[in-house]
Structures are given as structure tokens and as C-alpha cells.
């Protein structure tokens, strides 16, 4: 699959120990989820150091515990170590992500961090500059030809791992390319006489009206239901945040998943949502922010909604969690992303790397060469073969034409209990940094998802440009975003519900309030961060 790099997504730096305000895009569990304990015995960092000094190539590795147990269950975890020639001792760490990253702060402060660890990008930048983590660039130049070649061939990756001074304090974990998508009850559409799927926002609106006419007599039915933020399809109104070809930031930057309130289409977007709300085409509890995820799921499972726009594996979830039990005709299909109001193809965006997943090496480590040996194998052709397809004859079978037949059944492996050997291949789970392959990632998923995801993401999904902020920039931006988000949400909701009439005078008042709340200040910080990465 051709991987596209299109400008748009915020990645935050700075010494923040919790989740970063202003990077708010909807999060979802990986398309898979299991875990367990087999193959490798965990140890403490000190025990690993003692073993390494005895002459074997090994190192200790800290990672959040839920990913640690998943890694231990993989059938090829032992093979990874044997093929690389390096023993990796997994260190017991915090159960939750937050407690894990707090434990990193404590370990750095006390000087007890082991050889290598997964940290947040902000931790890598701050502690690296303070001397707690090694600058990996000299090690890469000397010990890791595969990593060196990859960084040189991928400037976007180089930008995400290289400090302003040229140091590399951590290697980032890449994300597979996926986005939300729009799915619908195809049985509802058929019964309502809808024979053509909408290709534009106007056509989508008419479809919602038809569904409301067909099913609206039932109590609590709304054609479009969802969870969390309701302002979808900004990309179709051409009012999402962007960085243009000249490097100018438009809007409050959130990697293409936010909004530019000064774009012509933003007012049109708000007006459209007012139409949906007033005609009862969208769930008012969702708009008001009072509905829960469980309530959304129940509505879509029980016929109280016909359309949703959410995580790409959700159709499988609804089919597997009671939809057909509630209605024997229950079926879900995926529709294409609507065209922009200018008639062009719209795009959705995904972060290229995960800011919570940077591998660092402690400055005190005696096993840095072993860490680099292992990592460089992951970036080699043989290493990528294992990380993308597992072990030939167990996870997949390589065919004569170079393609792969999957032995691992995602629907079976992804739900295996913790502690059982698992032959799934999961590139969206944290293991180590290595080049992600989107084609093999899509092939590894269940058959229902495979039926649509490759074509959909090839047409509509793009990696964002990610911004890295200094510690001072991130602190200032976070404080501004707290106020801005509150004012933005309240102002837009007032228009959508009709509490404030959407006219030129009131729109100017809204924009003035957004300026007072910090729009231009946030945009300035985003622009400075963007300029520093050019």
C-alpha cells in the first residue's frame, strides 16, 4: 500500500507527566486485545545487569505491564531473541499507563532505571537533555546500520526522533495507518428504500431524513448516533486544522482532527449541525455530551440508530456483541468518506508515531551495545519479516509468488485469555520500535475488516505532520487550551441547539470570544513549533 504523508497532527513535547491537553483526538483500544505470560521470565533491572556482566548479550527493558504480558504470550517472542542473538529481560512495571510513566520519573530521579525503557516523548526530550538518557546517534552510526539507513531514508521519522541540537534520545514507535470511518445498518437502509449511498454532505442529510421518516415513530430513535465529540466531517467542510505547503498553520493545530474557526466552511459546519439537531437527525444526548459509550453501543445494537462514525473495527464489534441476536436481519457495512464541499476527495489523519512510545537507553547502562544489536535486527529485513508476518509455518505461510497466507485467525487469537500462547501478529500493540507495514497489518485483521479497510485507508487516510513543542511552549499551550476548549464547546453548542441565532453579528461575537480565550496565542505557538521543525 502506498503510504501518504499529508500535513496535519499535533504531537506534544514538554515535561508533562499526564495526558497532554490539546492533543485530543479520540482514542480507542488496538484492533486486537489479549495478553499473558509465556516464553520469557520477567526480572528486575538489577538482575539483568548481573546476567549481562557474565558475558551473555542481554539487556533489561521497562514497558507498561499490560504490553509486557501481551508480548510474553506471542509465539515469536522467543524467536525474536534467538534470531537477534540478544536476551531481553522484561522488567515488571506499573499496571496502568499513568503509573508506569510516573515510575519512569521516579527511576530516573533515583538513578535506578535499567538498561532500556519505553518513555513519553516529553520524558525522552527533557531527561535526555539533562544527561539521564544516552544520545543514540553515535551508537546508531557505529552499531546500527539498518536503523541508520532507515532514518536517512525517512525524513519524517528523523524529524520525530531528532532534537533541535541533533541528538537522538529515543526511537519512536510508528503507528499503523488507520482512521475512523462511517458505518451503517445496511438492513435499515434497505428497508427504508435507500438504494444509493451518499457521496456528499447534502446527500447524507437526505439519507438521514429518509431514515427518520422510516424509523422515527419509535421512541428514542435518531438516525445518527455516536460517542464523545460530535463535530465530525470538518474535512468535508474544509475547515479542519492544517499546515499548508508554505508551512503556515491554520487553526488550533490537532493534526487535521481539529478545526480552523476562520475557514469559510466552519460556519457552514455549525449551521449543518443546527439543521441536524433541529430536525432530530442526530442524537441530542450525544450532542449535549451526556451520553456514555455504553449507551451509544446499546442504541446501535438495538436499532435506536442507523449510522455511526467511529473506530474502524467497530462494525465487527457490533456484529460480535449481540447485534444479530437483537435482529436477525442485523448487518453493518461501511460507506465511503463524503467529498469535500468543493467536490474533492476528503482525507482523515493519523499520527505517524506514538508520543507515548519512545525507546531510550539509560546513560548508566552497561548493555547499550546489546540494546542496539537487538533494535538493529528489528530494522533489518529478517527482523521486519518476523514483526510483520511472524514465523513461517506458524503465523503465516509464504507463497511461491511472495504473498502470505495467514494461518493465524484474528477472530480467534485476539480474544485468547492472558497466559495462553498466541499466534496473532499485532503491529498496533507496543513491543519495540520498528518500521510498520500497513499492508501486512490490514491482512492480519479479521475478514470483515479486511473487506473494506485496505481500500478505504488507501483512498482517505494520511499520516499527519506532527509538531514537537518545547517545555515552555507546551506549558503555555496547555494552560491556554483548557480555557479555549471550554469556550469553544459552549459557543458551538449554543449555535447547534438554537439557543443563539446563527447570524453575522452573533458569529462575530463568537470569534471575538475565541480570540479572548486564546485562539491566536495558541496558533502562534503552533506556528513557532512548526517553523522550528522546517
Determine, yes or no, domain membership for 30. no
Residues 248 and 297 reside in one and the same domain: yes
CA-CA distance, 225 to 231, in Å (whole number)?
12
Total domain count, the chain: 2
Phi, psi of 38 (to 5 degrees): -155, 165
Q: How far apart are the first and last CA of the chain?
A: 27
What is the per-residue pLDDT across 133-187, written as a single tens digit (0 to 9) for each?
999 999 999 999 999 999 999 999 999 999 989 999 999 999 999 999 999 999 9
CA-CA distance, 398 to 5, in Å (whole number)?
30
Determine, yes or no, domain membership for 6. no
Determine, yes or no, domain membership for 316. yes
Residues 118 and 250 reside in one and the same domain: no
Phi, psi of 404 (to 5 degrees): -125, 135
Residue 31: predicted pLDDT:
61
Residue 33: predicted pLDDT:
42
Give me 70's grid cell. Answer: 501481551
Residues 194 and 159 reside in one and the same domain: no
Hey, is 397 helix, strand or coil?
A: strand
Residue 419: predicted pLDDT:
92
Residues 244 and 126 reside in one and the same domain: no
Q: Which CATH number fits the domain that encloses residue 252?
A: 3.40.190.10
Give me 400's grid cell. Answer: 511461491
Determine, yes or no, domain membership for 448. no
Residues 193 and 337 reside in one and the same domain: yes
Per the structure, the complete domain to which residue 513 belongs is given by 180-349+467-532
User: Which pTM value belongs to this model?
Assistant: 0.86
DSSP-derived pairing of the beta strands 181-185 and 332-335: antiparallel
Sign of CA dihedral 524, 526, 527, 532: positive
Residues 372 and 342 reside in one and the same domain: no
Determine, yes or no, domain membership for 484. yes
Determine, yes or no, domain membership for 207. yes
Q: How many other β-carbons are positioned within 10 Å of the β-carbon of residue 128?
A: 23
Q: Which residue has the cell 549481562?
A: 52
| Spans in the chain with pLDDT lower than 50 | 1-27, 29, 33-55
Residue 93: predicted pLDDT:
80
Residues 286 and 385 reside in one and the same domain: no
Determine, yes or no, domain membership for 402. yes
Residue 30: predicted pLDDT:
56
Residues 160 and 304 reside in one and the same domain: no
CA-CA distance, 14 to 470, in Å (whole number)?
5
Residue 187: predicted pLDDT:
98
Residues 325 and 228 reside in one and the same domain: yes
Collect all residues with Cβ–Cβ distance below 8 Å to 525 and sequence separation of at least 6.
Answer: 469, 473, 476, 477, 480
Determine, yes or no, domain membership for 83. yes
Residues 486 and 345 reside in one and the same domain: yes
Residue 129: predicted pLDDT:
95
Residues 194 and 289 reside in one and the same domain: yes
Task: Give exposure, 186-197, as e/b (b: 16+ Cβ within 10 Å).
Answer: bbbbeebebeeb
CA-CA distance, 454 to 19, in Å (whole number)?
31
CA-CA distance, 529 to 293, in Å (whole number)?
35
Beta bridge partners of 117: 62, 360
Residues 342 and 389 reside in one and the same domain: no
Amino acid at each position: 500500500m502506498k503510504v501518504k504523508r499529508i500535513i496535519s497532527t499535533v504531537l506534544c513535547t514538554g515535561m508533562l507527566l499526564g495526558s497532554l491537553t490539546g492533543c485530543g483526538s479520540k482514542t480507542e483500544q488496538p484492533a486486537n486485545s489479549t495478553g499473558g505470560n509465556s516464553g520469557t521470565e520477567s526480572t528486575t533491572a538489577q538482575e539483568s545487569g548481573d546476567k549481562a556482566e557474565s558475558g551473555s548479550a542481554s539487556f533489561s527493558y521497562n514497558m507498561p505491564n499490560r504490553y509486557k504480558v501481551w508480548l510474553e504470550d506471542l509465539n515469536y517472542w522467543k524467536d525474536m531473541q534467538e534470531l537477534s542473538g540478544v536476551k531481553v529481560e522484561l522488567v515488571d512495571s506499573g499496571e496502568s499507563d499513568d503509573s508506569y510513566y510516573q515510575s519512569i520519573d521516579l527511576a530516573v530521579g533515583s538513578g535506578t532505571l535499567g538498561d532500556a525503557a519505553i518513555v513519553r516523548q516529553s520524558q525522552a526530550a527533557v531527561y535526555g537533555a539533562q544527561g539521564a538518557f544516552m544520545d543514540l546517534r553515535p551508537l546508531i552510526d557505529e552499531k546500527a546500520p539498518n536503523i541508520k539507513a532507515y532514518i536517512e531514508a525517512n525524513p519524517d521519522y528523523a524529524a520525530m526522533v531528532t532534537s533541535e541540537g541533533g541528538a537522538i534520545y529515543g526511537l519512536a514507535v510508528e503507528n499503523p495507518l488507520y482512521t475512523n470511518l462511517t458505518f451503517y445498518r445496511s438492513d435499515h437502509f434497505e428497508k427504508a428504500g435507500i438504494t444509493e449511498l451518499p457521496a456528499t454532505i447534502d446527500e447524507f442529510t437526505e439519507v438521514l431524513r429518509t431514515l427518520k421518516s422510516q424509523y422515527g415513530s419509535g421512541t428514542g430513535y435518531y438516525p445518527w448516533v455516536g460517542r464523545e465529540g460530535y463535530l465530525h466531517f470538518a474535512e468535508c467542510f474544509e475547515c479542519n486544522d492544517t499546515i499548508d505547503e508554505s508551512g503556515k498553520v491554520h487553526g488550533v493545530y490537532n493534526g487535521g482532527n481539529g478545526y480552523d474557526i476562520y475557514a469559510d466552511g466552519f460556519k457552514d459546519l455549525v449551521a449543518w449541525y443546527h439543521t441536524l439537531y433541529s430536525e432530530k437527525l442526530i442524537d441530542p444526548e450525544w450532542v449535549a455530551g451526556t451520553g456514555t459509550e455504553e449507551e451509544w453501543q446499546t442504541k446501535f445494537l438495538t436499532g435506536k440508530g442507523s449510522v455511526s462514525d467511529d473506530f474502524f473495527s467497530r462494525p465487527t464489534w457490533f456484529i460480535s456483541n449481540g447485534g444479530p441476536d437483537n435482529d436477525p436481519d442485523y448487518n453493518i457495512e461501511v460507506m465511503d468518506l463524503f467529498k469535500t464541499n468543493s467536490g474533492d476527495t476528503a482525507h482523515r489523519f493519523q499520527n505517524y508515531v506514538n508520543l507515548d512510545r519512545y525507546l531510550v537507553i539509560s546513560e548508566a547502562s552497561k548493555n547499550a551495545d546489546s540494546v542496539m544489536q537487538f533494535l538493529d535486527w528489528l530494522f533489518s529485513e529478517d527482523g521486519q519479516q518476523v514483526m510483520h508476518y511472524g514465523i513461517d509455518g506458524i503465523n503465516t505461510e509464504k507463497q511461491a509468488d511472495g504473498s502470505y497466507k495467514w494461518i493465524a485467525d484474528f477472530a480467534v487469537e485476539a480474544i485468547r485469555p492472558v497466559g495462553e500462547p498466541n499466534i496473532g501478529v499485532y503491529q498496533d500493540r507496543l513491543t519495540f520500535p520498528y518500521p510498520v507495514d500497513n499492508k501486512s497489518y490490514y491482512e492480519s485483521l479479521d475478514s470483515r475488516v479486511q473487506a473494506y479497510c485496505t481500500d478505504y485507508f488507501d483512498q482517505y487516510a494520511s499520516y499527519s505532520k506532527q509538531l514537537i513543542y518545547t517545555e515552555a511552549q507546551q506549558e503555555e499551550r496547555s494552560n491556554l487550551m483548557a480555557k479555549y476548549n471550554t469556550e469553544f464547546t459552549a459557543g458551538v453548542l449554543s449555535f447547534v441547539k438554537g439557543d443563539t441565532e446563527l447570524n453575522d453579528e452573533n458569529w462575530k461575537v463568537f470569534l471575538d470570544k475565541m480570540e479572548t480565550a486564546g485562539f491566536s496565542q495558541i496558533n502562534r505557538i503552533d506556528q513557532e513549533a512548526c517553523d522550528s521543525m522546517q
